[in-house]
Amino acid sequence: MLRSLYSGISGMKGFQNNLDVVGNNIANVNTAGYKKSRITFQDMMSQQIKASTDPVANGTGGTNASQVGTGSQIGAIDNVHTQGNRQNTDRNLDLQLEGDGMFILSSNPEVDSINDAGISFTRAGNFYLDGESRLVNSDGLFVLNALGEAITVPEGATQISIDGTGKISFTGGEIPEGATDNSYQIALAKFSNPGGLVKNGGSTYSLTANAGLMIEDNYQGGADVPLNGFKIPNSEADGTAKVVAGALEMSNVDLSEEFTNMIIAQRGFQANTRIITTSDQILEELVNLKR
């Protein structure tokens, strides 16, 4: 009897987490660069009532084991990195990625490696120029170029445009000494398993070893050479995404799917509460037998 109570409790906990995931997806339906989450379940360890037996030569056949389940638990909560819908904005610093890859952000204006502290990744391309003409996101994180530096547009530059390879062009302005083409080249990071990234909030992600960051094993750096792991957009060799200026990638949340999942989670939660109330009624009957 207690098994059914614990099974009902585990089911209620699981469906409550399911509702939490669905609710967060729905809340972020209009969040640029948001990737929906998906929850899956697995059964808990079963209690064996009777062991299986082997067939006996010239005798009886074998029998299967008898087991009673003890409930369910969360198997995984995955981030689904499918392409989101495009929203045209006609703003030259709004960038959408079509394909694989993420923009590289940093809280530091210059980094030496893609593994440096302060680096994060995003698909939300709503960028701005700060007071020092540096390209930043809405949280003030610097958008890095292929050299691992904050992209700084020369003061006085006008008619800023960004092409499909992430190259920034402009008219006017004094280019500082030492600046090269890669100084104005937006870089992307690519992952073999983007689901292995960890959400930070603000539509940004942190790197983990399980994300499978694509880097070169025999990398040889040098002056004006992109850092290892810093990819050029729209590259056939790297298979990186194309940059589309004047548009944003919105969330990949499908409301019809989420509402369906919400109904399933709600009914599943209700069904598990009935398991508990039914078990309680039976326990009450057993207690009353003594009266």
Statement to judge: residues 245 and 275 lie in one domain? no
Q: What's the mean pLDDT in 228-237? A: 94
User: Could you report the per-residue pLDDT of 194-212, keeping only the tens digit for each?
Assistant: 999 999 999 999 999 999 9
Statement to judge: residues 126 and 211 lie in one domain? yes
Q: What's the mean pLDDT in 35-56? A: 92
pLDDT for residue 42 is more than 90: yes
Q: Is residue 118 part of a domain?
A: yes
Mean pLDDT value across the chain: 93
Cα 166 from Cα 232, distance rounded (Å)? 7
Query: What's the pTM value of the predicted model, to 2 decimals?
Result: 0.88
Statement to judge: residues 135 and 258 lie in one domain? no
Q: What's the mean pLDDT in 189-196? A: 96
Closest CA to 223 of 253, 167, 180: 180
Per-residue model confidence (pLDDT) at position 57: 84
User: Could you report the per-residue pLDDT of 129-161, keeping only the tens digit for each?
Assistant: 999 999 999 999 999 999 999 999 988 888 999
Q: Is residue 52 part of a domain?
A: no
Q: Is residue 108 part of a domain?
A: yes
Q: Is residue 53 part of a domain?
A: no
Q: Is residue 47 part of a domain?
A: no
Q: Is residue 59 part of a domain?
A: no
Closest CA to 230 of 13, 238, 154, 124: 238
Which residue range is the domain that position 259 belongs to?
A: 2-31+68-77+253-288
Statement to judge: residues 160 and 200 lie in one domain? yes
Share of the chain above pLDDT 90, in %: 76
Statement to judge: residues 147 and 270 lie in one domain? no
Cα 7 from Cα 51, distance rounded (Å)? 22
Q: Is residue 239 part of a domain?
A: yes
Query: By 3-state DSSP, what share of the chain in percent is helix, strand and coil, each rounded to 5?
Result: 25, 30, 45
Q: Is residue 16 part of a domain?
A: yes
Statement to judge: residues 138 and 279 lie in one domain? no
Statement to judge: residues 149 and 215 lie in one domain? yes
- Pair 233, 95: CB distance under 8 Å: no
Domain count across the chain? 2
